[in-house]
Structure 1
Amino acid sequence: MNLTRRFLAEFTGTFWLVLGGCGSAVLAAGFPEMGIGFAGVALAFGLTVLTMAYAIGHISGAHLNPAVTIGLFIGGRFSSKDIVPYVVAQLAGAITAAFVLSLIASGKPGFDLVESGFAANGYGEHSPGGYSLFAALITELVMTFMFLFIILGSTDDRAPSHLAPIAIGLGLTLIHLISIPVTNTSVNPARSTSQALFVGGWAIQQLWLFWVAPIIGAILAGIVYRFVGRETEARVRERLSTE
């Protein structure tokens, strides 16, 4: 696929991730009787990635996340020349989704975008569970490492490719179940940026962590998987001879 089509696919996929994931948190999580809670939000994020992996995986790879794009590059699965266009598409899709979500949420009387937090990521007093900067840093780094490790492993040529979206979607669901109380779960700089831009103030000030930690985690995962998943020359010859 040419770059324009892949750009549009990444834009659309990231739009869906933010609208579906953050939308579930902003619109559906907080109702006392019919709210979906943390578990519902976690599932919503997993479903957005699962559905988009099947919808656009064959077009752009369905990265939907700057950390994923960088991790795949480090893992030897992506070209450096396409990193910037992919990240731009992801940011544009996420910000557009946040804008649409703000229009929907503002239709409820009394809704205050800043006061609500708008599903922004944070630490300290802005952590859902009051977790510290250090706890948030470790959480985002480790969770992104595991997310990229799952992606790299499940999309390996030796793995059953038709099952990769399920593994990735369920992996992201589990990550959210673990880390929503700590940071509201980022593992995705585009998702964090889109919400922070609309909340402003503290969300912008704390945004650096949700770029730095996921990218470090993704880089480490790319390095580790290249070692763990590497085939010996003898094994490659054996596999090719049976195909």
Structure 2
Amino acid sequence: GGWRDGVLLTQLPSLWEGGRALPRRGLHGDDKQNRPVQQIDILLSRLPTLMDGARSGGAMSEHTMQAKLITEFIGTFFLSLTVCTAAVMGAAGAMAPFAIGSTLMVMIYAGGHVSGAHYNPAVTISVFLRGACDRSDVVPYILVQVAAGAVAALVAGNLLVSDASVTALDMDPTSAVTAELLFTFALAYVILHVATSEATEGNQYYGAAIAFVVLAGALTVGGISGASFNPAVTASLLVSGALESADVWMHLVPQIAGGCIAAYAYKATTA
């Protein structure tokens, strides 16, 4: 079974210790005959590290910055493209929240092992505050995510649904800020628990759990704030004309705040 194999492999180095005291030379004292044994010894001594990497699915640091940024761009682009096409421009009608959640889920599973699949500046900040993202990744991630959101809006409006009539969101400031704060918090809080916690490490449901938060938020407060929960998506809404520049703060402020609060809530609940 899988877990039995894992236990056996982690015990191999200690089992090998018993053989280290045995003579390693050949019959004529030739070290060359012993090289294969030495190579096996080195491999076994590294097995715990190799097993840790296999269990975690590969750490973010194992990938180049270029690979991580490309992954973040692709994931954020398709998420934002779906928001603009399905919701803002009405291509999916009442099914838009399901289209958005589905896109987010598959992109998380596709890119999670490379970049962490943040696809959201508020999430990047939250993961950084939680201590699961390198400081050097934060600014590049955010810049690429926002750029991907803007490009997605241009593609949606000029190539996919060029004849769409976009109406700007009419939001009550108090309601919109509250909605964005609550569901950005919920999104980041769930991400920290299912995608960065050692207690849930190796689970296969993290992508679905994260996507369902966005789906629930879109169905619950989509008519109140537009259900962005993501500064990169907010950039898409701005570029597409669905959000007035004077109203951007109603999204950005609560989104960043929600991500920050989620990081401290995570620490408080896992202390």
**1:165 alignment partner, one of 207, 212, 236:** 207
Unaligned runs of 5+ in 1: 30-34, 231-243
Identity over aligned pairs, percent: 30
Q: What is the match of residue 116 of structure 2?
A: 61
User: SS at 1:185's partner residue?
Assistant: coil
The answer to whether structure 1 residue 139 and structure 2 residue 179 are counterparts is yes
Judged with a 3 Å threshold, the aligned counterparts in structure 2 of structure 1 residues 162 and 219 are, in CA distance, closer, same or farther, namely: same
Cα distance in structure 2, aligned partners of 1:56 and 1:105: 25
Counting matched residue pairs gives: 207
Partner residue of 1:36? 93
Shift of 1:61: 0.6
Cα distance 1:26–1:136, how it changes in 2: closer, same or farther (>3 A)? closer
Aligned pairs for 1:169-180 (under 5 A) are 169-180=211-222
Distance (whole Å) between structure 2 residues aligned to residue 136 and residue 107 of structure 1: 28
Tell whether 2:251 aligns with 1:189.
no
Task: List structure 1 segments (4+ residues) > 4 angstroms apart after TM superposition.
Answer: none
Letter of the aligned partner of 1:94 in structure 2?
Answer: G
2:51 maps to which residue? none
Determine the C-alpha separation between the residues in 2 that align with 1:22 and 1:147: 20
**How far apart are residue 100 of structure 1 and its match?**
0.5
TM-score by length of 1: 0.80
RMSD between aligned residues: 1.7
Equivalent position of 1:85 in the other structure: 140
Where relative contact order (Cα < 8 A, 6+ residues apart) is larger, the structure is 1
Where does the alignment leave 5 or more consecutive residues of structure 2 unmatched? 1-62
Matches of 1:166 and 1:203, distance apart in 2:
32
Contact preservation (8 Å) 2:84, 2:240: no
Query: Looking at CA atoms only, which structure, 1 or 2, has the larger radius of gyration?
Result: 2
CA deviation profile, 1:53-75 (whole Å, cap 9, x unmatched): 11111110110000000011111
Partner of 2:40: none
For residues 199-230 of structure 1, give each alpha carbon's deviation from its aligned partner in whole angstroms, at most 9, with x where no partner exists.
28x61111122111011011000001012023
The Cα of 1:191 is off from its aligned counterpart by 0.6
- Kept in 2, the 8 Å contact 1:27–1:105? The answer is no
The answer to whether the Cα contact below 8 Å between 1:176 and 1:185 also exists between their aligned partners in 2 is yes
